[in-house]
Structure 1
Amino acid sequence: MNPQQPSKTSPVVSLLLSLAAVATGCGAGSEAPSGVASQSQSLEGLPATCQDIRTAQPSAPDGPYLLYVGGKAALAWTAWCHDMAGTPKEYLTLEQTGSGSNYSQYLAGGNSTGTTVRTSYTRLRINPVTLRVDTADPTFSTSTGSLLHSPVQVTSMPYAVGMSCNSTQAQAQVDLRGTPFAVAPGQLSLGGSSPQGSAVYSEADQVVGLSGGGSCGWMGPPGSYNPFNQSGAALQLQYRSNALPTTCQDLQASQPGSPDGDYTLYVNRDGLKPWVAYCRNMAGTPSEYLTLAQTGASSNYSQYTAGGNSPGTHVRTVYTRLRLDPVTLRVNTADQTFSTSTGALSHGGAPVTSMPYAAAMGCSTWGVGNVDLRGTPFAVAPGQFRVGGISSSGSFNYSQANQVVALSGYGGCGWVGPVGSFNPFNQSGQPLPLVYAAPQ
């Protein structure tokens, strides 16, 4: 597949174009564009780290440079490269630097005597490969206050922490607006003695309001312990940009007239979670389909095996694409737009001519089925199948990192299918939740 991309220039692509202008249009001695340091014409490929910049241009000074997560053109960001004359390090410059933004706080009182310690950040040390923030790096921060956390004197706080040792919770804030990053889900938790507090995500997960306290408690990144001074746990970010489409509707809105076909979408606008969707009905109400790479006779099929109480011939439906909700990642197993069926049988007098995806059924015979998502970036979420029917038995065996599930169902009339299935034949199918995973 060769996914189509909308031709409309996005903010991310504009960054790429500015780099291209520097790399191809500036001769020796040309001035760098305003705000972004010039990069050497000898730079091959897109730089992912400040070391890449320095390798191409050993004399490059500290300053802002365009980097690309994983070297991918769609995942551009502006890094502040620090210590370019020594060991280059990457920092994310924060746009929101007012008194109520991007600060951590240890509230004085109770068991911690002194004055409240507050640290405000203007840049964050970030690993450009893993996108983890080193919350303990104070290079671009300022602190006020001093208190005693016996026997340690506290004069600064790591990023993304609210802490106190009294009944009043300390406030803190993370604000990544103006950058292409957001805080990954589940990145803040309570710790300490009798901890209390909250972490409230907002603004598409770019803002998190923190509060933490207790006998001596805190709210901070998972793994935090006594998070003060330079004791801080890593905070995981994810690349996110409104320029990255989540749905086929996003593509239709940005480029009216786009034809049906393959396009790259991004789960939750996360630049590290791309997938190739087949966008159907782009001239009307677009819908998303996942194209299956495994399409042989024994892959991605559902079968109601004839015999016993269901006379006729085996009904077998083979799928080449699945209707996938790009927001919830649930497969509409009843959608048979891209499938072919053979056979016909009678189920208590009702004609059966097709099967929903991910189902196996038989009446005194064994029904079989297969789910095979290899070659896609998705896997089946755990615990999504059940055995159902009269005097039923069956199995659903996950393998290949949960990208493959082998199904078999039996009973007086029994089946195996997604949770909630009842008589799963024709267009009677329950949603099948998927999860984003690395391609196998």
Structure 2
Amino acid sequence: MGKWLCLVILAGIMCLTAAEMCPVRPVNCAELKELGMATEDGEYDLYPPILNGEAVFIYCHNMTGTPVEYLTLLNYNGGNHPNLGNKNCNGEGVSPIPANSGSSSFSKIRVDITTMEVDGADYTFAETTGKPIPWGQAADCYSIHYGGNKSPCGIKGLSVIDTTDTGLMLDPSITWQKTGWNGFAEVTKSTTGQTISLLCGGWCGGCKATGPLKLIVTTTDLITASPTSCMDVKENDFWAEDGDYVLFPDSLGDQGSTFYCHNMATAPQEYVPLSVPNTGQHPNIGNRNCNGETTSPKPELSGSSSFTKIRVHIKNMDVDRTDYTFATTTGKPVPYGEASDCYSIHYGGNKSSCGMKGDFTIDTTGMDFVIDPTLTWSAFGWNPFEEVNKTSNGRIVSLHCGGWCGGCRPDSLLTLSLA
């Protein structure tokens, strides 16, 4: 027969001569097992036809039975639906549907190797609590976002997708839609598209992809020269630690500013460092008709907060007023930019003779930012009264508000703008 042999077909590859090495390129874990190339669960190179010959590193699970494919994730991937509710932003309580609360943290995700679509509800390699959160979805039962506008007290449903260093990423054409009742969704992507943050919620509500969560090969591992978020910082340097970094959020144009990146080992979050502490108090005193001070009629509402850093959502620079990660608190924490008390009755909208004791001071002295100068505050509660004073440069906003019980809070999102 000479040097030409009969055609040999192995895994779809034709070898024409005895001298040729026949490259074996298994397309899935079952084929890997059939070829006798692997018998144990582990990481292997596979060549799915849908990726046009590109090799991907896949974890083959259940090799002693019916093999299935998973992608190993090198960074935190997960979501949290907290057991919190704040329907009209008038104080946190438990969720209206506690049974919906839960969390998931994935170390591997199930992949249909034929289509490269992810089964987000496979929790084989996920740590979960309560009701598991599917990969690529976010939800909460925290607040009502009337008319499609984000509520002043924000969103608590958070999920992170991070395929950095896996060689794969979600198809950039994938979009997310809000779900549930009076929902709101914020989707933030890193410059490379390998990290995606989902901040979504409603009463109850959230967000999910409009189509399959399909993976594609990453074209390049870009270094982002001007990181727009802490996720970009992490993608540039996997070992980046919590600390101060200069970011260039899209909402600030080409302007860079210093942010504190927190939780870099898992789900990075942005905070703005404050040059001076911003503090508020709701004292445990009452003087209903200004005829002598006693304790508050509702001592359980009393408390204080002193913030050294404030959490911002980098996409539009609005402040999460109930994030107390970098706040010292006593009693019931006072939300950022809000003042209240249970001190006195302000009959007919007229300030009582003994005034208010609830206060909060916003102070952005020495920072790149000020509170949006168009922001206004409104009184809430029973027979309340408010006083809002701003310095001419907008750096300091002093709130003196109260009622029986009552106070004042922002009319809309508390957003930072460049000074």
TM-score by length of 2: 0.40
TM-score by length of 1: 0.38
